[in-house]
């Protein structure tokens, strides 16, 4: 089943450094990045500069193991270097082909203990940043070992403007705070955020990665990690006075960080740097630091769109559970319970969604609340709640399998674990076997609540291993996965491209039952959460104000046109048209963009970019000549200027522009929009007014002379 998906051409050059060296300077292939490695008084360290500007000032490196300190009293044993320049093809992604060009430098070190431990610190220098990791070969004095701390630090060159969320061990679902590094106060954010169900914030000065920063002189800096496997996620403790970030690994129930065996390599720590905001988003460092595809044959992995019985649950139109929970016990006969009549995942309601999907060319229908157990699950910390194969009496699995197949629609499974991960792992084979027997090729998993076994965290080594096991097990069954409530991604979808998406962020649902997310949220996400992999963000809400569902004061903090733009700015191979069918039926002209927009790409261009303010992106559909443009802004209105120089010269296209209408505003007038068509060429510059909290979406399709009849040449737009 498993093997290498891609064949790569690699050009390498070996260089050997003298073993006596204690301070070494190396550069990236085109000299943009400069690394200085040091070993002062037995303490390993490094510094990084970009185009002559300091990015990371001298900072320490090392690990602490039970019985060994590998952050001090370290001996230098030599170094070697090579250059790699290769290209590889993605199964899916923002670009078809990725270039991987770097200089690798390996520093060989050992402890000065009586029984020395041998280890390496490996750096890969790209022209847009650095990755480094710790590796342990097989050796005489170290076999099984325990990591008790990691001493990787990042001393910053200034008090940068920073986009951050608290360093919570169990959730990523916070709004972003923008502040100076010296002003980080995580616990104050937690106190204000009363809608997070599970919190474990160690201290007031802990933040999560990806951490996005901008210096006063215009250098953009992003710190994260890549290839997170068999190791806990890294948080960053902020030393506000020293302007230093210190790695903090997520511990297990007894305070240890990782249980390992040689040979072993830690995840990569990534530092991406650019003098343009777009350069951060264009970087492929995190993808390149992951292992190649581990699946032998990927034709069954299909990027797709879906709708589903989801939003009606969050707005309260229906419920996950089937009956009144009172009197329900371990041996309940579900067929004899009296239903309360508000259950969403019924056979009839699912058919309604299947019909809509079939009519409009949507690939799949996600159904949540189909299986028994929802009456008594949330916050109970129970070992066994769901069995993942037993439907409620009003959900006919066999009938729906046949009905969906007759309509050319795939049903998508939902597995909520309620945090009982041991229960899920025991049942995985049975659950995946049930899916394949009934025509389900994709699953959305969930990990709401505290993790069972007790004391483990969503971001700890135990759970990291679980997520990766699920991805690998699903691949063996040819099942695609969308994980909710996991650790934030680190590019592992390169290795397991059936891992289409994760949540791991504050998504659309928070607008249904909390204060929601401010308009700037979607301008920050590409620079933070999206750096590691796609989000299941659930865009496409057309009924912006939720009062009609009894949700007084709740709303989507966006215009309707911005909801369309999100399909391009927050890209991914799994996109949900999240609203209810009836709300789309009321705006079929706007829904056309959701039907048309691609979910897989040959190319991506970041045209206007500033984190926290605005984002304009153009993407070319996989295997087609069509382009799609999305633009979003924060709470401030603006005018976007979008040159179309990426189009083929000599070709005329039809651009369909979906934009904010006159007087549109995310708060008081969000649902007015305009749709206009124009002739455009590669020489056209679109000028589009964007409302406060608004956006616009554009489809650009090459057209014949007949298709151009009646369509005027583009002229600058005004409200």
Q: How many residues does the chain have?
A: 719
Residue 425, H or E segment: helix 421-437
329, 597 in Cβ contact below 8 A?
no
Report which of 150, 169, 147 is spatially closest to residue 256, judged by C-alpha positions.
Answer: 147
d(CA 456, CA 419): 10
Report which of 508, 481, 505, 664 is spatially closest to residue 579, judged by C-alpha positions.
Answer: 508
Residue 509 is a catalytic residue = yes
Report which of 77, 73, 75 is spatially closest to residue 19, judged by C-alpha positions.
Answer: 77
697, 567 in Cβ contact below 8 A?
yes
Residue 506, H or E segment: none
State phi, psi for 653 to the nearest 5 degrees. Answer: -120, 160
d(CA 25, CA 38): 9
State phi, psi for 377 to the nearest 5 degrees. Answer: -130, -40
Q: Is 54 helix (H, G, I), strand (E, B) or coil?
A: strand
Q: Is 555 helix (H, G, I), strand (E, B) or coil?
A: strand
Q: Give the dihedral sign, CA 337/343/345/351.
A: positive
* DSSP state letters, 236-304: EEEETTTTEEEEEEPP-TTS--EEEESSEEPPEEEEEEESSHHHHHH--HHHHTSPPP-BS--TT---E
Instruction: Compute CA distances 348 → 241, 330, 431, whole Å.
Output: 61, 28, 24
- CA 291 from chain center: how many Å? 18
d(CA 235, CA 208): 5
Q: In the structure encoding, which two tokens stand for residue 328, read together?
A: 């329900």
629, 698 in Cβ contact below 8 A?
yes
* DSSP state letters, 629-684: EEEEE-SS-EEEEEE-TTSPTT--EEEEEEEE-TT-BTTTBTT-EEEEEEEE-TT-
Q: In the structure encoding, which two tokens stand for residue 416, read together?
A: 């909520």
Q: In the structure encoding, which two tokens stand for residue 221, read together?
A: 């800096």
Report which of 570, 552, 403, 400 is spatially closest to residue 501, judged by C-alpha positions.
Answer: 570
d(CA 441, CA 306): 13
Choose the catalytic residue: 150, 375, 456, 509.
509
- CA 77 from chain center: how many Å? 39
d(CA 613, CA 420): 40
Q: In the structure encoding, which two tokens stand for residue 24, read together?
A: 């070494």
635, 519 in Cβ contact below 8 A?
yes
Peptide bond before 253: cis, by omega within 30 degrees of 0?
no
Report which of 433, 427, 415, 337 is spatially closest to residue 377, judged by C-alpha positions.
Answer: 415
CB atoms within 10 A of CB 453: 12
Q: What share of the chain is helix, strand, coil (3-state, %, to 5)?
A: 20, 35, 45
With tokens 């919570």, the residue in question is 168
401 contacts: CB under 8 Å, gap ≥ 6: 411, 438, 439
490, 502 in Cβ contact below 8 A?
no
With tokens 């009296």, the residue in question is 338
With tokens 């829904």, the residue in question is 591
d(CA 121, CA 43): 13
Q: Which residues are catalytic?
A: 509
């Amino acid at each position: 089943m498993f093997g290498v998906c891609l064949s790569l051409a690699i050009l390498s050059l070996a260089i050997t450094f003298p073993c006596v060296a204690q301070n070494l300077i190396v550069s990236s292939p085109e000299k943009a990045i400069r690394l200085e490695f040091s070993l002062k008084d037995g303490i390993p360290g490094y510094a990084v500069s970009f185009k002559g500007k300091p990015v990371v000032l001298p900072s320490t490196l090392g690990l602490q193991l039970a019985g060994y300190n590998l952050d001090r009293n370290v001996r230098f044993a030599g170094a070697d270097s090579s250059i790699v320049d290769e290209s590889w093809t993605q199964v899916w992604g923002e670009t078809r082909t990725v270039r991987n060009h770097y200089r690798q430098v390996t520093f060989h070190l050992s402890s000065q203990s009586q029984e020395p431990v041998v280890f390496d610190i490996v750096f890969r220098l790209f022209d847009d940043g650095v990755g480094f990791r710790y590796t342990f070969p097989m050796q005489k004095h170290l076999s099984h070992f325990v990591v008790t701390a990691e001493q990787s630090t990042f001393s910053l060159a200034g008090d940068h403007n920073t986009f951050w969320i608290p360093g919570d061990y169990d959730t990523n679902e916070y709004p972003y705070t923008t502040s100076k590094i010296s002003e980080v106060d995580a616990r104050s954010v937690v106190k204000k955020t009363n809608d997070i169900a599970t919190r474990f914030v160690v201290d007031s000065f802990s933040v999560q990665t990806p951490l996005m920063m901008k210096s006063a002189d215009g250098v953009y800096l992003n710190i994260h990690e890549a290839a997170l496997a068999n190791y806990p996620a890294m948080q960053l403790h902020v030393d506000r006075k020293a302007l230093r970030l210190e790695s903090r690994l997520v511990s297990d129930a007894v305070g240890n960080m990782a249980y390992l065996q040689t040979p072993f390599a830690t995840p990569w720590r990534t530092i991406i740097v650019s003098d343009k905001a777009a350069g951060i988003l264009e970087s492929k460092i995190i993808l390149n630091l992951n292992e190649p595809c581990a699946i032998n044959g990927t034709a069954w992995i299909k990027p797709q769109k879906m709708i589903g019985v989801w939003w009606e649950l969050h707005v309260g139109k229906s419920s996950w559970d089937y009956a009144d929970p009172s009197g329900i016990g371990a041996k309940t006969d579900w067929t004899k319970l009296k239903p309360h009549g508000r259950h969403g995942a019924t056979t009839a309601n699912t058919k309604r969604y299947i019909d809509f999907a079939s009519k409009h060319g949507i690939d799949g229908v996600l159904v949540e609340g189909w299986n028994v157990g929802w009456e008594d699950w949330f916050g109970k910390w129970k070992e066994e709640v769901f069995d993942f194969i037993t439907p409620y009496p009003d959900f006919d699995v066999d009938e729906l399998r046949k009905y969906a197949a007759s309509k050319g629609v795939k049903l998508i499974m939902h597995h909520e674990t309620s945090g009982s991960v041991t229960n899920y792992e025991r049942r995985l084979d049975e659950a995946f076997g049930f899916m394949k027997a009934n025509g389900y090729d994709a699953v959305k998993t969930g990990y709401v609540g505290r993790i069972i076994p007790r004391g483990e965290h969503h971001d700890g080594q135990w759970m990291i291993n679980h997520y990766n096991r699920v991805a690998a097990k699903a691949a063996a069954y040819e099942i695609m996965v969308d994980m909710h409530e996991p650790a934030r991604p680190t590019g592992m979808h390169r290795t397991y491209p059936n891992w289409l998406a994760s949540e791991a962020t504050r998504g659309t649902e928070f607008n249904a039952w909390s204060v929601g997310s401010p308009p700037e949220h979607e301008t920050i996400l590409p620079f933070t959460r999206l750096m590691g992999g796609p989000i299941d963000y659930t865009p496409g809400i057309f009924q912006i104000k939720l009062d009609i569902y009894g949700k007084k004061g709740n709303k989507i903090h966006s215009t309707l046109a911005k909801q369309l733009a999100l399909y391009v700015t927050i890209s991914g191979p799994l996109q949900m048209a999240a609203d209810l069918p009836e709300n789309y039926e009321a705006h079929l002209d706007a829904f056309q963009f959701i039907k048309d927009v691609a979910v897989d790409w040959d190319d991506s261009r970041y045209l206007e970019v500033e984190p926290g303010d605005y984002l304009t992106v153009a993407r070319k559909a996989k295997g087609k000549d069509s382009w799609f443009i999305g633009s979003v802004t924060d709470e401030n209105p603006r005018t976007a200027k979008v040159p179309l120089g990426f189009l083929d010269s000599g070709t005329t296209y039809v651009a369909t522009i979906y934009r904010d209408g006159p007087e549109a505003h995310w708060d008081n007038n969000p649902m007015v929009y305009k749709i206009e068509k124009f002739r455009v060429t590669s020489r056209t510059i679109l000028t589009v007014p964007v409302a406060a909290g608004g956006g616009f979406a554009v489809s650009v399709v090459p057209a014949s002379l007949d298709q151009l009849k009646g369509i005027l040449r583009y002229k600058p737009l005004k409200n």
